Structure 1
Amino acid sequence: MPLRYQPMPSDLAARYRRREPDAYGLTPELHVSDGHGMPCRHCLANIAEGDGYLILAYSPFPELQPYAETGPIFLHADQCEAYIGGEAVPPILTTSKDYLLRGYRADDRIVYGTGAVIPVTGIDVRASELLEKPEVAYIHVRSARNNCYQCRIERA
């Protein structure tokens, strides 16, 4: 099944770069990258050493509800191009050996039984399997160790 890896929406990234409040109503924190382990959720690449970045609370859901998780993410402090790789596994998903994939319904509720930690080499296969289920509208990719949101996978 053709997949599409989706970054954080560009309009939302722009708001955070203007230092508008994050999901907790706080101003995003500005830092300088040491070049290790700071994946930008907009370009879906690691933030290079010396580049400014923001840490902020992010919820990839349209509204509050019991399944709308919020957590810390990194974002380039300066403009970066949104990830447009489409079907290719984004660079940020090659920095760890595995990730948590979890399916969600169209109403943004978790589809129970879909969550599993998957090796990087198996992400495409597992995502395709999940998206073959009619009740799964999209998938979140999260850190297997810290549960941090990475990106969203949809049917292409």
Structure 2
Amino acid sequence: MSFRIRGLPAAPFEHLLPLSDAALKAQGIQRLIIREPDSAPCRISLQDAAVGERVLLLNHAHHASSSLYAASGPIFIRESARETFDAMNQVPRALRLRLLSVRAYAAHGDMVDADVCEGAQLETLISRFFQQADAQFLHVHHARRGCYACRIDRA
């Protein structure tokens, strides 16, 4: 079954990039310099930030819905990220490396199914969920930390 994985658009975060650390902190946002590889997956590019790269850590409403399942949580944004990951039937490396929690949602925003898988098995879970007629889109989270990763749609 065909699917489309998308990162977040860069535009809503661009106004944060020139802000000072103090101005970011006043909004509950942290600027960090990455010290370990594969430790800060960007939600725009769906790439891990490189060692020495600057990222923003902020709260994001990834499921802004009127349903009971509305949710927000912390995400990393690479300051250098300009292009949103948007690909058909391709799982980015940053997802392949991690244990994932995948949640299937109906069009109105209610969760209809959920499971956990290793990133290498993500396509199998996508296919299983999209065989359900009421599963209209998926949200992927990093299972260990619980952070939102990306959205997957039927294609």
Question: What range describes the TM-score normalised by the shorter chain of this pair?
Answer: 0.7 to 0.9
If each structure's strand is expressed as a fraction of its own residues, which one has the higher value? 2
Identify the residue that residue 9 of structure 2 maps to in structure 1.
Answer: 9
Return the offset for 1:15.
4.3
CA 1:32–1:70: 2 relative to 1, 3 Å: same
Return the offset for 1:107.
1.4
Distance 1:151 1:107 in 2: 18
Identify the residue that residue 61 of structure 1 maps to in structure 2.
Answer: 63
Contact 2:2 2:154 in 1 (8 A): yes
Return the offset for 1:129.
1.6
Contact 2:2 2:88 in 1 (8 A): no
Contact 2:5 2:150 in 1 (8 A): yes
Kindly, what percent of the aligned residue pairs are identical?
25
TM-score, scaled relative to structure 1? 0.84
CA-to-aligned-CA distance 1:3-27 (integer Å, 9 cap, x gap): 11111123223344355x99xx925
- 2:77 matched to 1:75? yes
Gaps of 5+ in 1: none
Identify the residue that residue 118 of structure 2 maps to in structure 1.
Answer: 119
CA-to-aligned-CA distance 1:44-80 (integer Å, 9 cap, x gap): 0000111110000011123465311111110012343
Question: Which range moves more in the overlay, 46-55 or 6-15?
Answer: 6-15
* Misfit runs of 4+, over 6 Å: none
Letter in 2 for 1:85: A
CA 1:16–1:116: 2 relative to 1, 3 Å: farther
Letter in 1 for 2:135: V
Identify the residue that residue 147 of structure 2 maps to in structure 1.
Answer: 148
